[in-house]
Structure 1
Amino acid sequence: MVETNPNEIVVVKSENSKINTVDFDNLVFGRVFTDHMFVCDFENGKWQDPKITPYQPMTFEPSARVFHYGQAVFEGMKAYKDDDGKIFLFRPKQNYDRINKSASRLAIPEFPENYFFKGLETLLKMESDWIKPGLGNSLYIRPFVIATEPAISASPAATYRFMIICSPAKAYYNKPVRVLFAEKFSRSADGGVGFAKAAGNYAAQFYPTGLAQKKGFDQIIWTDASTHKYLEEAGTMNIFFRIGDKLITAPTSDRILDGVTRKSVLQLAEDLGIDYEVRPVSVKEIKDAAEAGNLKEIFGAGTAAVISPVSAFEHADDVFEIPQQENSYASLFKKTLTHIQHNLSEDKHSWRHEVK
């Protein structure tokens, strides 16, 4: 069934929904996808023909540039539903701005704001039944763009495809994580693409993260590429440290992703009267604090991870267990953040965006 909605987005509805085959109580992150997807192509110098179609495989030529030169960027967002059935996004303009910032760094044309929001909101209204109410439930949203031109000369593509797919989600991590401080491998370097959500950033992490997992760790906290003396971010989240009652996190740079959850945590810290500093954080400082008993918490912050406590870290064969805090900052931030996202508390900064 083909329709054209008032926003000039062609909609092709799926004949049969697969929602009744999904066990929403036992979801594996990023493995189940909703019935529809948003698609828009860049051809002849402009983005055109936005449409929503049934979720389905796509066909590309083997010479499509994305396969050879990695011109691909993405975003991570979530939609939430309150007990009245209203759908909310959390600071979506931040994600829109960031995907275009990422795209520009990889010589990909920026995507129009009206297409982004009209396409996203139309898709979410169609997939409303996939968004379950209740804390811990959400619909993970993956906007992304890839180079589709069939040519293998080493230059930017002339054609691209922008897409949005959705996946029902629960917690990314269901228990505190154990992390390894990087000593050899690097996530990014000065002047590189660390600040961008470029697909290759994540592919390059898989090998060293796999080595860490073989040692019994879940993630790596990356250190600066020049000296490996300063802690920067983890593989799927920005990272925070609590020494005494002070919260500390590294400043963003061209090596570190400017996380939406990260900046929200900093604003919440200010709202809650929690002392915090944004400054370089050295490995030595954290190890010294752990040895002295002053390191109270480490936790990660990200769209998929939300707030994820760290239970232990290792560096140079030194392992430090982090005792669980009775009234942790991590639990306070998670509760405050998720209550805003699910329309359960005041939204003093107007972070919620209702999909109407």
Structure 2
Amino acid sequence: MKDMQKIFVVTICSFFILFGCSKDSSRLPSTGITETDLIAIEDALEDPNTNFVSLINKIRGSVGTNGSGSKVVWSKRNNYNLGLFVSANHVYGVSTWPSFNEEFFDLFSINNGVFGGSIMPPTNGAISLTNERVASFALYHPSIPSDATNFTVLPKDDFYLGIMDNQRIIDDGMFGIYPDFVQTDSPLQMFDPNNRTLADQTWSVPNIGDVVIAIGYPNDRVTYPNGAVSSGKIYSDSEAENIIQLLNQDMDPEGDIPYNPQVEFLANIKAVSGMSGGGVFNENGQLLGIMVRATALNGQPILRVVRMSYIVQKLTVFFDSLPPSEKAKIEPFISGELN
């Protein structure tokens, strides 16, 4: 494909298009963070830029693995201080949902919890992941077209919300071990040294031209055993539309998906297979969105990120449409983040 190598990588419930990346001197305004290639977390934490390291430490404890993809704890601002997380629908597996209709799960009567593939950074802030698994429950997903697959689901439909409680096991290679019903008597313990997940503003909207940080878990665990970090500029809507048009002219599959500024933003951030569902954060550690699709154009990485503002809007509209009896079932898990 001209001068750009593109490798389409398919993994179970997670995919990305691999691409190259370039560097420039762009910096986060108050931190001095320069744009980077994809860096292993442990290497990034040895950077001489103390502001850069401080930001990574502020957010890295919120991002974990989700099967063969990633997820990010959006907030613990709910009645139980459990982890309200966000990930991508194609990470969960589109065909896995019992219905493609918009729905939520009453976690007090439905136990869809799993341990498998759910790993978070150690609560003491250690860098290396352990074989401890944290209980993960699906809570809500938007409506999904009946013909959608993991590879064709559009950004506007490619997110879901879940809950992590404090049930944990040590994975000794055994299969078929599942958590009990969601436990609400113990807050989720996680590495969150600045209480980012309890802040008044846990999420924000992207600002054009800002350099932002992305964290996720590449499937290449040899190179990135404990996750990876990258950064890049946010494109304006007009730049994003031009990029999609150029991708279309270049016969890139991403060019067939129109840019929707209400749903997503584009950034020149590098990501690889397994980082789907991971978080993109601003310099204050606020969650801007989750990674869902990526490609490259003329050697520049192009990352599609579903906006948190869109996710909040969809959740709020859905919640407002519910009868009181149904609201009472989901509200305790999302109470601190409702508009």
| TM superposition score category, shorter chain reference | under 0.3
Q: TM-score, normalised by structure 1?
A: 0.25
- Tell me the TM-score normalized by structure 2: 0.26
Larger radius of gyration: 1
